[in-house]
Structure 1
Amino acid sequence: MKKVVLDVLQSRGTYYEIGLQLGRELRKSALYNHHLKRRRRSLRDYNVDIIEAKRLFLQFAPGLWEELKGLSEGLQWSMEETVHEYSGFQQEWIESGCSSLAKDGLYVRNYDYHPKTYEGRLLLVKPSGGYASVGFSGRGIGRIDGLNEKGLALGFHFVNRLKPGEGFICTTIARIILDTCKDSDEAIDVLRKLPHRHSFNYSLYDRNGKAAVVEASPRGIGVYHSSTLSCTNHFQMNHMKKDNRHYLKDSLKRLSVLQSGQKERLTMERALKLFNDGDSPIFKKAYDSWAGTIHTCVFDCETLQCLIGFGESAEGVKIDFQGWIEGVDISIRKITGHFDTDVRFLFMHEG
């Protein structure tokens, strides 16, 4: 089993100050050199209209434009380079897994992807002018999943990357929702209005107990909601199914397992075991095929307590996000996980 250690970073201040800290930390990390190597491919693969990107950020989340300015300063990059590489506008996304369940006040999610893409940062941020949130970093300013101070939790679930549109990728969309929406209804409204680059499910759960899945593609939106919901990697609404991939067996299997588990009362510990145990049908080990479980997050949307499982069969690290919002720093600086793979995690110094 490979031992992997991620960082826990805490930031309070203006969006610019948060971006500045992020940029300085990133520049010192092992990941930075890999991002430098990635630049040539990024420039070849997609173009970014910085004027259009700025317009959209100012419309939906103006604070994040300021964070990009701070990130630019921290990286010592031009604003054009920073927006191209880290804004999440017009970028690409390789297929990934991901499963979630929302019930009994808890939101639990597995993030399944390739280790080389993982940034290895759990971020707690409290920006002036936006909602505080806890979540895993994805593509710079974006988030892989998270919980905000209003008790709104969310995650995304890859569906398809064919026929991309002009818009934001999943990680930036997740961050916009966390920073600007207080509940599932507000998140649904924003997801209807945002331009989507690729086809994804967005699973939502809020403090009021409202769970929802937004099926979003560049060509349309579908929404369904309930007090209990499971979500994997395919669209279920008839008018959205045309954007599904042909192979859905694994996604359908995981969804069936999750739905069968909805009958039992969920606790944070039970949720972690269901999703993170190495023998669970929800936990995936296909790391070299872009489909290995990297982390599990369990969020209590009412108390704002978090339980983080990194790697396989993790004991779980508890984080009092409510206390952190009130000004009490957490003592955790690192989280260790173990993985049954030889695939490299690029954010670590490995030889």
Structure 2
Amino acid sequence: MYHPRLYGEFYDMGFKYGQLLYQKANFTIPTISKKKMDFGLESYKELKIFFPEVIEEIKGFAKGIHDKPENLGAFLLSLGVFNPTGQCSVFAFKNKTSTIIGRNYDMLFDFKKFTESSLIAPKNKYAYISQSDVFIGRSDGINEKGLSIAMSFVNGTEIQTGISFHFIIRKILEDCQNTKQAVELIQKVKVSTANNFLIADKNGNLAVVESAPQKSIVRLPQKKEPFIYITNEFKSKEMQAYDRGGVEWSKSEERYNGLGNNLKPIKQIDLEKAKEILSDKCVCLNLRKEKFGTIWSVVANLNELSIERAETKPKATNYKVETRLDWWLKKRANSS
């Protein structure tokens, strides 16, 4: 897993990282089909409206790898649209004085070599720690305001040119400070695919946005349940018509039930218990035949900004403490 630290102007962040990958890894944009290119180029037009700052980062990255911004943008915005394969498990739990989150990201084991956990601190935006298996876009993260967001794929019935989850998550981490703001942003954006987004903040506000090109709804914790969780299906009756299903191979329902069975008996939770839940054999995916399973795992206390991460199949003993966000916040305070 790569661990870049990117801060400053958007263009400069992109150029720095693109140039680094070009020089150290001879990175070039993978070739994509005409269908994906056309889709990506149309979506790139949407991204210019939705998130103009990140367009500058794309321009900088493209300069660093000696390619055109449009080619890079089209590649990024077509990812996970035509062949969404990621399968994930996420939960959030509200204690009396803290909010704890846990997240397993499940993907082909071959994708381990592309994974990265980044400190991103754009000028005049919130700083955050986030994970992904692609540069620039994000799959989950926690920002300096104690806001967490993580997605899971849903096999939706439609796609449309629009904004992929990678950029929705980035914009939320950079612009939003609580769950309410994040939910409102997701419901306004023209999404390209179906996804679940689980959002939690340090004040204990928990929500899932079940989002599809046709519609989205907000799902809140059940009465007397201080937690919420997702795998790879829509659970609300209103959204099931937009869920194609077909995720039995990834044990989505088994993982969903595993999360519920672990969370329902407990009154409060800490990071050690969160790690235990994510390592449970009913939650942690390990499909050897398909060469598919959990390739990173994150737990966090949003009130303390305590973040720990396992960079392979999680066990209670293989998490490492994340220190870069604390480093950045101290660095920024000392320079002001």
TM-score exceeds 0.5 = yes
What is the rounded CA distance, in whole Å, between the counterparts of 2:133 and 2:70 in structure 1?
Answer: 19
- SS in structure 1 of the partner of residue 218 of structure 2: strand
The aligned counterpart of 2:227 is 228
Show CA shifts across 1:102-158 (max 9, x none): 013111100001133452211001100321111113433101111111111111111
The aligned counterpart of 1:323 is 326
Indicate conservation of the 8 Å contact 1:287/1:293, yes or no: no
- SS in structure 2 of the partner of residue 201 of structure 1: strand
Instruction: Report the CA distance shift for 1:182/1:92 in structure 2 as closer, same or farther (over 3 A).
Output: farther
Residue 25 (structure 1) aligned with residue 28 (structure 2): no
How far off its partner does 1:191 sit?
A: 0.6
2:269 corresponds to which of 266, 270, 274: 266
Q: Which has the higher contact order (CA 8 A, sep 6+)?
A: 1
What is the rounded CA distance, in whole Å, between the counterparts of 2:282 and 2:80 in structure 1?
Answer: 34
What is the rounded CA distance, in whole Å, between the counterparts of 2:291 and 2:164 in structure 1?
Answer: 17
Residue 197 (structure 1) aligned with residue 192 (structure 2): yes
Matched AA of 1:267: D
Indicate conservation of the 8 Å contact 1:42/1:85, yes or no: no
The aligned counterpart of 1:45 is 36
1:112 corresponds to which of 79, 103, 106: 106
Show CA shifts across 1:199-248 (max 9, x none): 11001111111111000011100111234111111111111001223445
Show CA shifts across 1:162-197 (max 9, x none): 421121222222112211211111111111111111
Give the structure with the larger strand fraction. Answer: 1
- SS in structure 1 of the partner of residue 322 of structure 2: strand
TM-score by length of 1: 0.82
Instruction: Report the CA distance shift for 1:273/1:266 in structure 2 as closer, same or farther (over 3 A).
Output: same
What is the rounded CA distance, in whole Å, between the counterparts of 2:26 and 2:204 in structure 1?
Answer: 38
2:47 corresponds to which of 41, 57, 63: 57
What is the rounded CA distance, in whole Å, between the counterparts of 1:289 and 1:81 in structure 2?
Answer: 31
How far off its partner does 1:259 sit?
A: 1.4
What is the rounded CA distance, in whole Å, between the counterparts of 2:288 and 2:156 in structure 1?
Answer: 19
How far off its partner does 1:31 sit?
A: 8.1
Gaps of 5+ in 2: none
Indicate conservation of the 8 Å contact 1:131/1:179, yes or no: yes
Indicate the larger mover: 7-16 or 311-320: 311-320
What is the rounded CA distance, in whole Å, between the counterparts of 1:200 and 1:242 in structure 2?
Answer: 14
Identity fraction in percent: 24
Residue 252 (structure 1) aligned with residue 242 (structure 2): no
Indicate conservation of the 8 Å contact 1:213/1:223, yes or no: yes
CA RMSD, aligned part only? 2.4
What is the rounded CA distance, in whole Å, between the counterparts of 1:89 and 1:254 in structure 2?
Answer: 25
The aligned counterpart of 1:344 is none
Indicate conservation of the 8 Å contact 1:23/1:72, yes or no: yes
Question: Which runs of at least 4 in structure 1 moved beyond 6 Å after TM superposition?
Answer: none
Matched AA of 2:126: Y
Alignment of 1:1-351 (within 5 A): 6-28=1-23, 30=25, 32=27, 36=29, 38-39=30-31, 41-48=32-39, 50=41, 53-54=44-45, 56-87=46-77, 91-103=81-93, 104=95, 105-118=99-112, 119-226=114-221, 227-247=226-246, 249=248, 250-262=251-263, 263-264=265-266, 265-275=268-278, 277=279, 280-286=281-287, 289=290, 291-312=292-313, 313=315, 315-328=318-331
